[in-house]
């Protein structure tokens, strides 16, 4: 369920990047001036952000590379958060309320992603561990019995 907002936003950004690019343009231009490796094209940044959202969300839904997918989704949400903070500071009171609710949602999702990325691996339940241990033990015992029977058959045949 954590991946759904990122999947939806990612597909939306890939289909029509213009509205989000307009929102992110001042932030992208400012970051591109500071970091030369960052492209100064807001539409390209939005498309990359959308692709990262779809890829990370898909990996998270499928349960593949959970920590990596959480980190990818967290990294792709940073430019949007920066743009929302900028809009909150310079917006009119009505716009501030809308931006504030969106920013709170995005910060909550970012926190959930970071929690999921840093969550320790869970140990299997005791019942699963006992069953796996019993299977390994049975395999070892049967392999040992097979070897011993083979040696006895070899001795009897000689």
Per-residue pLDDT for 5 more than 80?
Answer: yes
d(CA 79, CA 77): 6
Sign of CA dihedral 112, 29, 18, 22: positive
Mean pLDDT of 106-116: 89
> Which pLDDT score is estimated for 124?
63
pLDDT in tens, 17-75: 999 899 889 888 988 999 989 889 999 999 999 999 999 999 989 988 888 999 999 98
Per-residue pLDDT for 121 more than 80?
Answer: no
* Percentage of the chain exceeding pLDDT 70: 97
């Amino acid at each position: 369920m954590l991946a759904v907002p990122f999947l939806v936003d990612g597909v939306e950004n890939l289909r029509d990047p213009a509205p989000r690019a307009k929102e992110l343009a001042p932030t992208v231009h400012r970051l591109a001036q500071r970091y030369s490796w960052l492209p100064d094209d807001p539409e390209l940044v939005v498309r990359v952000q959308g692709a990262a959202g779809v890829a990370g969300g898909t990996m998270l839904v499928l349960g593949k590379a959970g920590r990596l997918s959480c980190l990818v989704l967290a990294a792709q949400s940073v430019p949007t958060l920066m743009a929302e903070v900028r809009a909150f500071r310079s917006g009119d009171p009505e716009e501030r309320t809308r931006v504030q609710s969106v920013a709170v949602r995005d910060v909550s999702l970012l926190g959930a992603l970071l929690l999921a990325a840093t969550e320790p691996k869970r140990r299997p339940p005791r019942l699963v561990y006992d069953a796996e241990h019993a299977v390994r033990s049975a395999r070892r015992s049967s392999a040992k019995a097979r070897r011993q029977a083979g040696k006895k058959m070899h001795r009897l045949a000689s």
